Amino acid sequence: MTAGTSRFLGAHTIDNGGLHMAVLRAGTAGMTAMQCFTAIPKFYGDKATIKPERVARFKAALAKTMIQPENVLVHAAYVLSVATPDDDKWERASAGLTKELERSSALGVGAVCFHPGSAGTSERSASTKRIAKAIVAALEKIDSTTKLLVENTAGAGKTMGKTAQEVGEILSHVPKALRSRTGYGLDTCHLFSSGYDITKSKQELTAVLDEFESETGEQPSFFHLNDSEGELGSNRDRHVLIGDGHIGRQPFEWLLQDRRSEGIPLILETPQLNYDIADDDDSPDPYDLKMIKLLL
Ligand SMILES: [Zn+2]
Ligand SMILES: [Zn+2]
């Protein structure tokens, strides 16, 4: 398979030793895109600012790689459930999302992606408005070129962002003037586990991407390339190496042939072999190398 030079492929690399080490590991793996966290993903991080020294180290590391800043994606903390009907929790999650955008803007990266969270006891439709309200709050407070992107989800329970229609509905509540600073991205594992059978045929995969494009009015701004441990429609969010799950290698080949995978970050969030890599070791993860070889 040939992904060509307009496909920017990378992974969420390990940040042991600091954010700049995640960048260097992506660089030594030969990646042209990457993803990282800017704070501990289990916490709201609504008070966490990023120090100038950290920003400087990050930018210096990036300059040593083939990765352009616009092809760096930051993954927001998982706990930022801006879909929640609980006002106190929403305030905190919204503040956390704004801080994510602030930190990512300081780093000068292309975008931050986030999972919208669960609608809880509320109507899904009302929840799409709260999600949009948090996007708008962040974009109004932080004026930058860094985008804030909704990620489709595996759809467990009342998790929002499960369908093309729902992602479209969330984005439809963002005023036109701010619309160019937001958008969405698609995770292959989440698509499959939420019931989109991207394994059926190339036509079917194309139709799924068409559906997202028509419901949102735009193309995705990133892809997460993950195989799925769970079956079709299982709503399980468990990523495995490409070829080890129920999606298999072929659909990724189709995806890399689609025009919509051009010019945007294509990020592996598949397991790593060396989670305990030493802080000062910038060698690439062997699993990432295996995945890149498989895809290119
Ligand atoms: Zn993902
Ligand atoms: Zn996932």
What CA–CA distance (Å, rounded) separates 66 from 7? Answer: 13
pTM (2 d.p.)? 0.96
Q: Report how far ligand 1's centroid is from the alpha carbon of 12 (Å).
A: 10
The ligand that comes nearest to the alpha carbon of residue 35 is: 1
Dmax (CA) of the chain: 49
pLDDT for the residue 2: 47
Q: Report how far ligand 1's centroid is from the alpha carbon of 187 (Å).
A: 5
What CA–CA distance (Å, rounded) separates 226 from 127? Answer: 27
Burial class (CB in 10 A: 0-12, 13-18, 19+), 160: buried
pLDDT in tens, 169-225: 999 999 999 999 999 999 999 999 999 999 999 999 999 999 999 999 999 999 999
Residue ranges with CB less than 5 Å from ion ligand 2? 237
Is residue 1 over pLDDT 50? Answer: no
Task: Give the CA distances from residue 112 to residues 29, 137, 194, in Å, rounded to whole numbers and listed in that order.
Answer: 22, 15, 22
pLDDT in tens, 210-237: 999 999 999 999 999 999 999 999 999 9
Task: Give the CA distances from residue 79 to residues 66, 84, 110, 265, in Å, rounded to whole numbers and listed in that order.
Answer: 32, 11, 22, 23
Q: Report how far ligand 2's centroid is from the alpha carbon of 196 (Å).
A: 15
pLDDT in tens, 253-264: 999 999 999 999
The ligand that comes nearest to the alpha carbon of residue 187 is: 1
pLDDT for the residue 38: 96
What CA–CA distance (Å, rounded) separates 111 from 75? Answer: 9
- The first and second tokens of residue 33, run together, are 């895109």
- Percentage of the chain surpassing pLDDT 90? 94
Q: Report how far ligand 1's centroid is from the alpha carbon of 104 (Å).
A: 17
- The first and second tokens of residue 171, run together, are 């984005």
The ligand that comes nearest to the alpha carbon of residue 228 is: 2
Q: Report how far ligand 2's centroid is from the alpha carbon of 170 (Å).
A: 19
Amino acid of residue 217: G
Which residue carries 């390990």 as its tokens?
14
Q: CA 163, 168, 173, 174 torsion: positive or negative?
A: positive
Is residue 26 over pLDDT 90? Answer: yes
Task: Give the CA distances from residue 6 to residues 150, 196, 264, 266, 289, in Å, rounded to whole numbers and listed in that order.
Answer: 23, 26, 8, 11, 19
Q: Where are the alpha helices (DSSP H) in 235-285?
A: 250-257
